[in-house]
Amino acid sequence: MQHTWRCAIRVADLGEFGIIARIVGRLPQFPAVLLGPGDDAAVLRAPDGRVVVTTDLLLEGRHFRRDWSSAYDIGRKAAAQNLADVVAMGADPTAIFVGLGLPGDLPTAWLDGLTDGFGDECALVGASVAGGDISSSEQIVLGVTALGDLGGRAPVTRSGARPGQVVAVAGRLGHAAAGLALLLAGREELPYPELVDAHRRPQPPYGCGPGAAVLGATAMADVSDGLLQDVGHIAKASGVRVELEPQDLPVPEPLAAAAAELGVDPLRWVLTGGDDHALVAVFPADVRLPPEWRVIGRVVEGEGVQVRGHDEPQGGWDHFRE
Amino acid sequence: MQHTWRCAIRVADLGEFGIIARIVGRLPQFPAVLLGPGDDAAVLRAPDGRVVVTTDLLLEGRHFRRDWSSAYDIGRKAAAQNLADVVAMGADPTAIFVGLGLPGDLPTAWLDGLTDGFGDECALVGASVAGGDISSSEQIVLGVTALGDLGGRAPVTRSGARPGQVVAVAGRLGHAAAGLALLLAGREELPYPELVDAHRRPQPPYGCGPGAAVLGATAMADVSDGLLQDVGHIAKASGVRVELEPQDLPVPEPLAAAAAELGVDPLRWVLTGGDDHALVAVFPADVRLPPEWRVIGRVVEGEGVQVRGHDEPQGGWDHFRE
C-alpha cells in the first residue's frame, strides 16, 4: 500500500534566496520588462512617457482567509484588485510588484499556488510579475503595486463627470458580496457556486477600461467599495449629482435566488457590495456603447447619489450619499 | 497649574478617509506627479520612456521597533531603503507609494511623524509620496514602492563587472550594525550617538547613484545585506571575483571605539553590516573618482569575494563567498 502522507516542504527550508528563485522560476516576463527580478530594482518600458501606479496592502484574516480561499485564488484576487485600478484609469497594465510576508511554516505548495495565481491573473492582461520582496511574517501579508501605460490617452479620472452625461457599468455587481454573505451564513452548500466563486476570484472587465477611454469616457472608477460609494466618489470629485435607475441595475437570477434564501434584498448587494471590481464610467449622452456596458443612470446638477424612487428604503445607503 | 495630560486622538477616530486626508495634507507633490492621491491610481511622468521600480515590505517587530525608533525615523528609514535601491540603478527617484497597515489605537501624532518622515526623506531627492493604501492591522505594516527615471542613461545592474576594474564605495559601512549592536547590548549610553542614529536613520549617498552612472560605473548595488554579501551578488551576477583590500576599508573612529567597548572586531561590522545603504560600484580602472567614492578593491577572474590577507580569520564571512 502506498504511503500517501508526505512531509510538506516549508518555505523556511528554502531560505530567502531559495524562495525568490522558486517564485521567479514560475513567472514569465513579458517584453515590457527590460530588467526583471534579481537586481536592486526592475526596469520597465513606459512608452507613453507617463506611468500609472496603484498599490494595495492585503492582510490575512482581514482581506482573505486561507480556509475560505485557495492560495491560487488569493493570488488571482490580489492581482485583480490592483489591475482593476489600473484599467479604471484607462491604462493597460504592464507589471505588478509583490511584497510578500510569509510564515516560515507555510508549505511551498501554497506559495506555488499563490505565485501561479498572481502570474495567471496578470497574464490575462499581458502584465508581468516583475519584482518583489520577501519577509518572514506571522501572518501572510501581500503588498501589491501595479503599473500601467496610457498609450497616449488622457487618464480617465473621477472628476470628469458633467450634467447631461450617462452613467454605465461593465462587469458584475453584488456577486462577491452575495458569495461572502453565503459563506458568513454557512450556506455555501446552496446551489450558487458562481457567487462564492465571485467572492474568491473577481473577474474585472479588464478590456473595458482602456476601451472606455477610447469610447470617450470622461470619468471612471473601479467598483471596490460598492456602487453607491464609488459613484459617490465620482459625484463628489466632479461636483455633480448622479441619479441611478433601479430598474436598469442588473440583478441576475442567482443573485435574486440567493437573496430570497437569505431573506435579504439583492439590490442591496448590487448597490453596496464591493470586491467584484466592475467598472463604472460616465460617457457623453450620445455615446454608442458596446454590449459590455449597461447604462444605469445619468449625471445631473447637484451633489450626491440617488437611486430613483428609493428615497431611504431599507435605511441602508443614505450615509453613502456624502 | 496646567493639566498636561491629553487624551491622544487615535487613527481609528479619523476613519479611512480622514486618515488619508490627514496624510495627503502633509505631503507636497512635486511636478513629476501628474495626478496624485485620491483616484484609482496615480499618474507620474516617466520622461525617459522607462521606469525603475522597487518594493519592500517592512513589518513592526521585524524591521523596526516603536520603542527603539521614533515614527519620524521609521518613515525616513522606510523611504531611504527604497530610494537607495532606485539610485543604485543609476536612476533619479520620482515617487514612492506606501501601503500602510495601522492599529486603530495608534495616536494620530505617531501617524503624522511617520508621514513627515516619508515626506522629508523623499524631499531630499525631489521625490513625492504620490499614493498609497490604508488598512487596519494589529501591528504596523509598511509596503513601500519607489519609482525612478533613468534620464536617458543605461541602468547600472549587478552584472557588468569585468576583470581589471576597480571596486569603490560611497557612504557609510557598518555604522547601523554598530548602532544596532549597542542597542542590543543595552549600551546606548555610550558616547557614540552617531552609530545609534545610523541604525535609526540611514543616510544613503543618493546623488552618488546617478553620479556613478555618469562616471561610467558598469555595475552597482546598494549595501543592504552587508558589503560582502552585496559585492558577492555583483561577483556572481557578473561571473567575476572581487578582491577587497582590508586596509582600504573605512573604519572611522567611533566604529573602532564602540567595537573596543563591546569587544568585537569593527571590520566585521564594515564587512557584514547592512542598513547603511552605502553604494558599492565597479568602475573602469582609469576612472577619476570624486572624493565621495573610495576604492576598496578590484575585479579579477574567478568567483566569489575575498578580503585580502584574511583567509578565514574570525570564521565569520566564509559563508558569504557563495
Name the residue with cell 502633509: B26
- Chain A CA closest to residue B97: A55
Which structural domain range is residue B24 located in?
11-149
Q: What's the CA gap between A213 and A218, in Å, rounded?
A: 8
Give the residues of chain B that fall short of pLDDT 70: 1-7, 311-322
* B209 and B87 inside one domain: no
Please report, for residues B8, B23, B74, the alpha-carbon distance to residue B18 in angstroms, rounded to integers and kept in the order given.
Answer: 16, 9, 22
Q: Residue A141: list chain B partners with CB under 8 A.
A: 57, 59, 101, 141, 143
* A118 and A202 inside one domain: no
Give the residue from A92, A115, A149 where a domain finishes.
A149
* A144 and A209 inside one domain: no
Q: Which three cell numbers stand for residue B212?
A: 556613478
* B76 and B187 inside one domain: no
Q: Centre a 10 Å sphere on the Cβ of residue A7 and count the other Cβ atoms it contains.
A: 6
- Chain B CA closest to residue A85: B40
Residue A219's pLDDT is 98
Contact B279, B222 (CB under 8 A): yes
Which DSSP state fits B153? P
**B49 in a domain, yes or no?**
yes
Residue B161's pLDDT is 98
Amino acid identity of residue B104, one-letter, is G
- A94 by DSSP, 3-state: which? strand
Amino acid identity of residue A321, one-letter, is R
- Chain A CA closest to residue B99: A57
Q: Centre a 10 Å sphere on the Cβ of residue B186 and count the other Cβ atoms it contains.
A: 7
Amino acid identity of residue A138, one-letter, is E
**Among A21-35, A218-232, B179-193, whose mean pLDDT is lowest?**
B179-193
- B28 by DSSP, 3-state: which? coil
Q: How confident is the model at residue A274 (pLDDT cuts 50, 70, 90)?
A: confident
B237 touches A at CB < 8 Å: yes
**A85 in a domain, yes or no?**
yes
Residue B320's pLDDT is 34
**B287 in a domain, yes or no?**
yes
Please report which residue ranges of A130-265 form alpha helices under DSSP H: 175-184, 193-200, 208-215, 227-238, 253-262
Q: Residue A18: list chain B partners with CB under 8 A.
A: none
**B210 in a domain, yes or no?**
yes
Contact A87, A208 (CB under 8 A): yes
| Closest Cα in chain A, distance from residue B131 (Å) | 7
Q: Centre a 10 Å sphere on the Cβ of residue A282 and count the other Cβ atoms it contains.
A: 30
Contact A217, A234 (CB under 8 A): no
* B180 and B110 inside one domain: no
* B199 and B145 inside one domain: no
The three-point CA angle B180-B68-B175 to 5° equals 25
Which DSSP state fits B302? S
Residue A9's pLDDT is 86
Residue A2's pLDDT is 44
Residue B309's pLDDT is 80
* A170 and A134 inside one domain: no
The three-point CA angle A76-A81-A85 to 5° equals 140
Residue B311's pLDDT is 60
Contact B55 A97 (CB under 8 A): yes
**B156 in a domain, yes or no?**
no
Q: What's the CA gap between B96 and A304, in Å, rounded?
A: 32
Contact A24, A119 (CB under 8 A): no
- Report the DSSP beta bridge partners of residue A297: A167, A244
Q: What's the CA gap between A109 and A70, in Å, rounded?
A: 11
* A88 and A124 inside one domain: yes
| pLDDT tens track for A64-115 | 999 989 999 999 999 999 999 999 999 999 999 999 999 999 999 999 999 9
Which of A87, A61, A54, A64 minimizes the C-alpha distance to A199? A64
Residue A8's pLDDT is 74
Give the residue from A149, A182, A209 where a domain finishes.
A149
B127 touches A at CB < 8 Å: no
Could you tell me the CATH number of the domain that includes residue B241? 3.90.650.10
**B5 in a domain, yes or no?**
no
DSSP symbols for A115-145: HHHHHHHHHTTT-EEEEEEEEE-SS-EEEEE
Q: Which three cell numbers stand for residue A15?
A: 531560505
| pLDDT tens track for B276-292 | 999 999 999 999 999 99
* B198 and B314 inside one domain: yes
**A1 in a domain, yes or no?**
no
* B286 and B179 inside one domain: yes
Residue A221's pLDDT is 98
- Chain B CA closest to residue A146: B41
A40 touches B at CB < 8 Å: yes
**A156 in a domain, yes or no?**
no
Backbone angles phi, psi at A30, to 5 degrees: -85, 165
Contact A320, A233 (CB under 8 A): no
Q: Centre a 10 Å sphere on the Cβ of residue A272 and count the other Cβ atoms it contains.
A: 18
| pLDDT tens track for A185-223 | 988 777 888 999 999 899 999 999 999 999 999 999 999
The three-point CA angle B45-B115-A52 to 5° equals 25
As for how many domains chain B has, the answer is 2
| Closest Cα in chain A, distance from residue B168 (Å) | 17
Contact B133 A63 (CB under 8 A): no
Q: What's the CA gap between B167 and B165, in Å, rounded?
A: 7
| pLDDT tens track for A128-176 | 999 999 999 999 999 999 999 999 999 999 999 999 999 999 999 999 9
